[in-house]
Amino acid sequence: MIGVNLDGPFYFVRALLPGMIDAHWGRIVNISSGAGQNGGGPGLAHYSAAKAGVLGLTKAIALEVAQTGVTANAIAPGVVKTPILKNVPDDHLEELTHRIPVGRLGLPEDIAGACAYLVSEEAGYVTGQVLCPNGGFYM
């Protein structure tokens, strides 16, 4: 779990960061999870720990490269309607949906929009932050 969810972003950033620094411009957007902020729930300690690590990694990188023209931020989505949910019982998904203030699960497009903002010129003053598109599920 840590190998994919934490080591992956670490090695990816390590490979690309020197080129971004040389170019005096770059945008790093790591994908974490709400579980990295709230523990996720029973049985998710390994996943939550890895995703919390992504948040720490992102903030450490943001501090290290703050004056180079590179920003580093993370997205911590809530529950998103993807194929991974196909094994979750419908009644559990319905109960979960009722707990989300906007009344629906997230869509991949919701996360893509957050990412598009963080890689834009308009986000040049945003670094070391965690954007949480989650429909108000946790605040």
Reduced DSSP (H G I as helix, E B as strand, rest coil) percent helix, strand, coil of the chain, to 5: 55, 10, 35
| Both tokens assigned to 30 | 């790591």
Q: Is the separation of the CB atoms in 94 and 38 below 8 Å?
A: no
User: What does residue 101 show for φ and ψ, rounded to 5 degrees?
Assistant: -55, -35
Query: What is the rounded CA–CA span in Å between residue 44 and residue 56?
Result: 18
Dihedral angle of Cα 125, 14, 116, 132, to the nearest 10 degrees: -80
Given 11, 47, 117, 125, the catalytic residue:
47
DSSP single-letter state for residue 87: G
CA distance 105 to 103: 7
* Catalytic residue check, 125: no
Annotated active-site positions, please?
Answer: 47
